[in-house]
């Protein structure tokens, strides 16, 4: 296809099906570049993995295989869409669990091939990072992005779609991972992040004061594994009664939020940007939202969050990124591969 034909083809509105299967959620969605999100559906495997205290990769892959086609069929029926309406099919190529990624990638690619429509390999973290664009008002570029998920805790300078510069990273546990591990120490089950946050609401602020690791390190890197160890020491020493557990949960949340807020403000200072975008599961945390928004305001900056349902893994953010990339004329062929390990900074910049 010539450049001109390519450009002409992508100036009209695009309808993209998104498929997310990187971990323990099967998510599908339809995003129209003119009309926005038309619909989405999600199946969480949380209950299935709960018995094992964590995600079992082989079970995750098998469940994605079972769920993805019925979910797509249901979404098409619900939105009155037929497959031939689609302009492209986007899927999560990585990072994530290899087998789980393959389930979504193979279905999306087979569908694209059968329909003769382009498929788009989406980076899971780019999708989290751009997920506030599903909302209204949408953040304008450039912005600082705080990515806080179960696997990542990173700060980026985002100049435009595809232009991501890593500013800071966790040196050990991710924020969500720290929430989950601490929740386990407090006997809250899996995944513990939301349960720990709920318990923290009943705890007293200042009753338990935990360290703020690397808060004053002078760079934008973070470290959270020490917090979990501090909680372990407390639990062992005090045997942790129910009321103390709430105070510990509060002390933990206060510490982690304090560090995340301080590092995000430092990123604003460093970049001189006036907007922050938060993405990833921990972005659902109410204390983080309240304190980050208030702190950013003191710098004259505004913070954008995804809708709560789009903080954790979902198909909507994948369909969104697929549509954004398709409009820029970025489409791959049908030779797919998955990338379980994939740095966002390595993502190729679209033309
Ligand atoms: O983005 P996500 O769905 O998965 C990854 O891509 O990693 O994030 C899941 C993480 C889990 O660690 C979960 O415990 C945490 O987000 N999370 C929370 C909250 N809701 C989810 N952590 C703290 N407070 C919450 N309200
Ligand atoms: Zn995620």
**177-198 tens-digit pLDDT:** 999 999 999 999 878 999 999 9
Give the tens place of pLDDT for each residue, 126-178: 999 999 999 999 999 999 999 999 999 999 999 999 999 999 999 999 999 99
Lowest mean pLDDT among 32-41, 210-219, 234-243, 255-264: 234-243
Give the pLDDT mean for 10-18: 87
Q: Closest by alpha carbon to 135, among 305, 291, 12?
A: 305
Q: Produce one character per residue of 281-301: b if its CB has 16 or more CB atoms within 10 Å, e if not.
A: bbbbbebbbebbbebbeeeeb
Confidence of residue 8 (pLDDT cuts 50, 70, 90): very low
Q: Which protein residue has the closest C-alpha to ligand 1 atom 14?
A: 193
User: Could you check whether 15-131+311-346 and 140-305 share the same CATH topology?
Assistant: yes
Which CATH number is 140-305's, of 2.60.120.200, 3.30.420.40, 3.40.1010.10, 3.40.50.1370?
3.30.420.40
CA of 116 to the centre of ligand 1 (A): 36
Ligand 1 first shell, C-beta below 6 A: 23, 149-151, 176, 179-180, 191, 193-194, 197, 280-282, 284-285, 312-313
Q: In the chain, pLDDT over 90 holds for what percent of residues? A: 85
Q: Which of 97, 124, 250, 281 maximizes ligand 1 atoms within 8 Å of its Cβ, making it the mutation to test the pocket?
A: 281
pLDDT tens sequence across 204-237: 999 999 999 999 999 999 999 999 999 999 988 7
Place of tokens 């087998």: 99
**Class of CATH domain 15-131+311-346:** alpha beta
Phi-psi region of 7 (alpha: psi -120 to 50; beta: other; left: phi over 0): alpha
- Which structure tokens are listed for 219? 């760079």
Band (280; pLDDT cuts 50, 70, 90):
very high
Ligand 1 nearest-atom number relative to CA 198? 26
Which band of pLDDT confidence, cut at 50, 70 and 90, is reported for residue 15? very high
Q: Which-ligand-closest: CA of 283? A: 1
What burial letters (b/e) apply to 146-181, b meaning 16+ CB within 10 Å? Answer: bbbbbbbbbbbbbeebbebeebbbbeebbbbbbbbb
Q: CB burial class (10 A; 0-12, 13-18, 19+) of residue 143?
A: buried
Distance 97 CA to ligand 2 centre (A): 11
Query: Which atom of ligand 1 is closest in space to residue 286's alpha carbon?
Result: 26
pTM higher than 0.85, yes or no?
Answer: yes
Instruction: For residue 59, count other CB atoms closer than 10 A to its CB.
Output: 17
Structure-token pair, residue 197: 């946050």
Q: Which ligand is nearest to the CA of 279?
A: 1
Using CA atoms, how far apart are residues 262 and 22, in angstroms rounded to an integer? Answer: 30
Is the previous residue joined to 351 through a cis bond, with omega within 30 degrees of 0?
Answer: no
Q: Is the pLDDT of residue 11 over 80?
A: no
Rounded distance between C-alpha atoms, residue 319 and residue 262, angstroms: 32
Between the CA of 129 and the centroid of ligand 2 the distance, in Å, is 10
pLDDT tens digits, 111-123: 999 999 999 999 9
CA of residue 107 to ligand 1 center, whole Å? 26
What are the structural domain ranges in the chain?
15-131+311-346, 140-305
């Amino acid at each position: 296809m010539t450049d001109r034909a390519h450009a002409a083809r992508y100036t009209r509105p695009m309808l993209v099906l998104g498929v997310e299967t990187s971990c323990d959620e099967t998510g599908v969605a339809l995003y129209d570049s003119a009309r926005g999100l038309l619909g989405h559906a999600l199946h969480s495997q949380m209950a299935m993995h709960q018995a094992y205290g964590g995600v079992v990769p082989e079970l995750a892959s098998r469940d994605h295989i079972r769920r993805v086609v019925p979910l797509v069929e249901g979404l098409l029926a619900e939105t009155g869409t037929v497959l031939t309406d689609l302009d492209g099919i986007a899927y999560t190529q990585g990072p994530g669990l290899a087998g789980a990624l393959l389930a979504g990638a193979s279905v999306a690619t087979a569908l694209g091939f059968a329909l003769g429509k382009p498929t788009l390999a989406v980076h899971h973290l780019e999708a989290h990072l751009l997920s506030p664009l599903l909302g209204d008002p949408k953040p304008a570029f450039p912005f600082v992005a705080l990515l806080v998920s179960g696997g990542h805790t990173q700060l980026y300078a985002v100049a435009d779609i595809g232009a991501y510069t890593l500013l800071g990273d966790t040196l050990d546990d991710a924020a969500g991972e720290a929430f989950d591990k601490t929740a386990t120490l407090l006997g809250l089950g899996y995944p513990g992040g939301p349960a720990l946050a709920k318990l923290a609401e009943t705890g007293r602020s200042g009753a338990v004061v935990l360290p703020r690791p690397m808060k004053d390190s002078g760079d934008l890197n973070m470290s959270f594994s020490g917090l979990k160890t501090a909680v372990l020491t407390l639990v062992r020493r005090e045997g942790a009664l129910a009321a103390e557990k709430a105070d510990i949960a509060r002390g933990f949340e206060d510490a982690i939020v304090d560090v995340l807020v301080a590092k995000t403000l430092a990123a604003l200072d460093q970049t001189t940007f006036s907007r922050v975008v938060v993405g990833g599961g921990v972005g659902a945390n109410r204390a983080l939202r309240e304190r980050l928004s208030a702190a950013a305001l003191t710098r004259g900056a505004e913070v954008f969050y995804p809708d709560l349902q789009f903080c954790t893994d979902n198909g909507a953010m994948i369909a969104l990124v697929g549509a954004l990339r398709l409009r820029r004329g970025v489409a791959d062929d049908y030779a797919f591969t998955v990338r379980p390990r994939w740095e966002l900074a390595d993502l190729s910049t679209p033309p």
